[in-house]
Amino acid sequence: MEQNTLLSKLKSEAVQIDAVISDDLRSVQNPQLFEVLEYALLSGGKRIRPLLTVLAARLCRKEKTQSREAENGLYKLAISFEYLHAASLLHDDVIDHADMRRGRPAANTVWGNTPVILAGDYLHSRAMLLAGTIGKEQILAQISGAAASMVESEFIQMQSALNKDRSETSYFNVLLGKTAALISAACETGAIYAGGEKEKREALKLFGSNLGLAFQIVDDLLDYLGDSRKTGKAVGNDFVEGKMTLPLITALEACQDSDRQFLTNLLENTPEEREKNLSTVRDIIEKYNGFSYSRKRAQTLIEDASKGLNLFQDCPGKDILLGLGQYVLKRNK
């Protein structure tokens, strides 16, 4: 599927998901809470997580048509994943003292930390309420497990930084919880809601997990190789902040002692010093195939994810999922 066609289909679905979110927000009674939530939730975005829930359900649905009640329930359930994602972003911006989010002032710079933390808590609670009332116990367990994994991965990341654990294993352990868990749960939840068989549920679960991992690896690559006018952040920002991403980890594990010492010294130095040496760092990563290795890992993840979809008959929903995999690999922002 061509990228323009894919984006057009995603946009039409995102409009419907936005309408469901807007309708659900009407239950919020406090004006300031509503204001923060509207700012955080309705500022654009492709709505990939709820879309995956809807598409997975359609792939597993036994009937060609679905009752209006069941379809409405599916969309209400799907937005719980957007709520959890938005909650994590609100909390992350407070923790990171972020100034900007998606090209606009971060919510914490507009309302302050306390209202934004509480808004994130509200979204987390609302997501669980939707999961429990619409999806019942099995789906609530899926979503709760994903939320718990997201929090636990943050602790793993903090401990890895403290212990200077710069291994690929640690990197993927963080990614599995921080990025992949929620996307994986979004896919599996849609399958469960539609009554999909275990084999199909597992295939969609793997698809979501691999899609999330590949997305983050490509994000790592764009940090070094992307165009800041498209990505919306300065090139090398992750390295300047001292973050361990796959291209850098690969180089550290493969490079000669002198280059390893140079990189290690920079990581333990100031952000200003790291920024001054970005060009050299990029050359070292290129020299030891950090970029090519990372690209291949992302490609393998998407290939494995796509193979699992062979269980399903060809249909528009399957085409969109396959297109999403290719979009993740080719995206430039």
Identify whether the C-beta of residue 94 lies closer than 8 Å to the C-beta of residue 116: yes
Per DSSP, the three-state class of 197 is coil
- Tally of residues, the chain: 333
Q: Would you call 163 helix, strand, or coil by DSSP?
A: coil
220 and 263 assigned to the same domain: yes
- Per-residue confidence band for 65, with pLDDT thresholds at 50, 70 and 90: low
Reported as a single tens digit per residue, the pLDDT across 85-128 is: 999 999 999 998 999 888 799 999 999 999 999 999 999 999 99
Q: What is the pLDDT of residue 246?
A: 97
**Could you tell me if 12 and 151 lie in one domain?**
yes
- 143 shares a domain with 27: yes
Domain ranges, residue 123: 1-196
- 218 lies in the same domain as 326: yes
Most confident range (mean pLDDT) of 38-47, 62-71, 246-255 is 246-255
Over 80: is that where the pLDDT of 178 sits?
Answer: yes
Domain-ending residue, one of 161, 196, 231: 196
**Overall average pLDDT of the 36-42 stretch:** 96
- In this prediction, residue 218 carries a pLDDT of 97
State whether 97 and 190 are in the same domain: yes
On whether both 160 and 226 belong to a single domain, the answer is: no
Stretch 288-293: mean pLDDT, rounded? Answer: 98
DSSP output for 1-20: --HHHHHHHHHHHHHHHHHH
Residue 164, phi-psi category: left (phi > 0), alpha (psi -120 to 50), beta (remainder): left
Q: Is the distance from CB of 140 to CB of 132 less than 8 angstroms?
A: yes
Q: Are residues 152 and 27 in the same domain?
A: yes
For helices 68-96 and 136-162, give the axis angle rounded to 10 degrees.
20
Strand spans (E) along the chain = 100-101, 104-105
Do 255 and 277 lie in one domain? The reply is yes
- Among 73, 81, 51, 77, smallest CA distance to 130 is for 77
Q: Which residues contact 115 (CB under 8 A, 6 or more apart)?
A: 32, 33, 36
Phi, psi of 100 (to 5 degrees): -130, 150
pLDDT at 217: 98
Looking at the fold, whether 225 and 87 belong to one and the same domain comes out as no
- CA–CA gap between residue 280 and residue 282 (Å, rounded): 5
List Cα–Cα distances, 200 to 49, 98, 135, 325, in angstroms: 18, 40, 18, 18
* Domain limit, last residue, from 171, 196, 221: 196
Res. 226: pLDDT tops 70: yes
Question: For the domain that residue 108 is a member of, what is the CATH number?
Answer: 1.10.600.10
Q: Which residues pair with 100 in a beta bridge?
A: 105
> Total structural domains in the chain?
2
At residue 287, what are phi and psi to the nearest 5 degrees? -60, -40
Average pLDDT score, the chain: 94
209 and 262 belong to one structural domain: yes
Q: Are 119 and 34 in contact (CB under 8 A)?
A: no
State pTM to two decimals: 0.94
Of 196, 224, 255, the position where a domain reaches its end is 196
Same domain, 110 and 189: yes
Same domain, 181 and 238: no
